[in-house]
Amino acid sequence: MKRFSIAFLIVLPLLSLGQYNDGFLQPFYFGRVPNARAEAMGKAFASIDGDLAATFYNPAGLSNINGLEVTGGYASPFGNFDDNYYLQTGAGYRLNQYLQFAVSSIQFRIDNITISDIVGNTIEDGDIRTKNYTLTLASEPLQRLFVGLNMNYILYDFVSDDPLKTLYFDLGLIRKFVLLENTVSRHTASLAISVSNLNSAKASGKIFGYEVDEPLPIIARYGANYQFALDKNMLLPDLTSLEFLAQAEYQDLWNSSYHSSMRFGGEVRLLEILALRAGYYTEQINDYGHTEANKNEIEDFTYGFGLQVPLDKLTNIPLRINFDFASFPQTSYSKNISDSEWDNYTAYNLKINWMINRSNQESSVRMD
């Protein structure tokens, strides 16, 4: 079991000054998430539409999905903890152009934690659990203009029987443009903005008998992407030969001076079956005043791949199955090389898309 100083995990979150206190729910919002596609592309995903998993970054990303979509994901580890994982599940449905809805959840937990004071005396043993349940509503009110709203309910259980909890909202927009289209190719671009915790919510509850009223981070994401498709089945009948995606994103916290981030990522998809991905990001972090030991900025290259079985193109079954995978070394927050020898971060995702109402879809073609 891991042992921690109460000064870092308890006292810092309690010193609320109206701003987001760095360290509170940091693994959930600024660690990793169980989205292998996003993590492989430098954590950039705010400008992606037509993907249920995009709602964590931008609720407008639910727009343009095909029919019924069910997804699940798993990722581990976080840092050098022994027993921890991220888990994501969700289901979404496209009713028509004007209404898409989904329910999803993301959970992060660290098991078998021992909390101690500054001299090493054990205060409590238990688990740290964060659960976020989301209802997403999205729409395409105008052609290629996507709007989305998340309603989130979060529970934060810090080895306590009285978890912190609150309700908060996210709002997002994506505007897609068709740059050029002809019989063999298609060029599109998208601009996006999303704001998480638009209502400046605070998580309230008790930790070890102390009343806590802790602000959640207000996260703004600004994204853009370019997509190219070489169509008309040049290699195999019914399958698009080549798809290319390049994207960039800037993340900014409105109630903190930390975690501003630049993110870049790309994806090449061959015959709608194999996708190869890579990305890069840099993020400002808090060194807690220990400039000799801690970094004030982290950066990393990321990569992964995806496999898709387009049964809707290969057979008469209106079904697509996607598997995404990413695995690469974790980025350490410490300048001490010995602290960086952690297990690789690894994420798996499975998505099943049943295109019930494919013939009624009025939105533009996308890469998903």
Residue 156 has pLDDT above 70, yes or no: yes
Residue 15 has pLDDT above 80, yes or no: no
List the single range of 98-107, 112-121, 243-252, 319-328 with lowest mean pLDDT: 112-121
What was the pLDDT predicted at 7? 32
- In percent, the amount of the chain with pLDDT more than 90 equals 61
Residue 273 counted as domain residue? yes
Spatial distance between the Cα atoms of 16 and 215, rounded to a whole number of angstroms: 7
Of 46, 47, 52, residue with least CA distance to 105: 52
Average pLDDT over residues 85-93: 95
Q: How many structural domains compose the chain? A: 1
Average pLDDT over residues 352-362: 68
> What's the CATH number where 168 sits?
2.40.160
Residue 29 counted as domain residue? yes
Residue 367 counted as domain residue? no
Residue 12 counted as domain residue? yes
Domain that holds residue 146: 2-360
Residue 331 counted as domain residue? yes
Contact at 8 Å (CB) between 255 and 218?
A: yes
What was the pLDDT predicted at 130? 93
Residue, of 119 and 314, whose pLDDT is higher: 314
Spatial distance between the Cα atoms of 12 and 288, rounded to a whole number of angstroms: 11
Phi-psi region of 272 (alpha: psi -120 to 50; beta: other; left: phi over 0): left
What was the pLDDT predicted at 322? 97
What was the pLDDT predicted at 17? 40
What are 132's two structure tokens?
């976020």
Residue 165 has pLDDT above 80, yes or no: yes
User: SS in 3 state form for 267-330?
Assistant: EEEECCCEEEEEEEEEEECCCCCCCCCECCEEEEEEEEEEEEEEHHHHCCCCEEEEEEEEEECC
Average pLDDT over residues 77-85: 81
Residue 210 counted as domain residue? yes
Residue 362 has pLDDT above 90, yes or no: no
What was the pLDDT predicted at 3? 39
Is the overall model pTM greater than 0.85, yes or no? Answer: yes
Residue 366 counted as domain residue? no
Q: Which amino acid is at 288?
A: Y
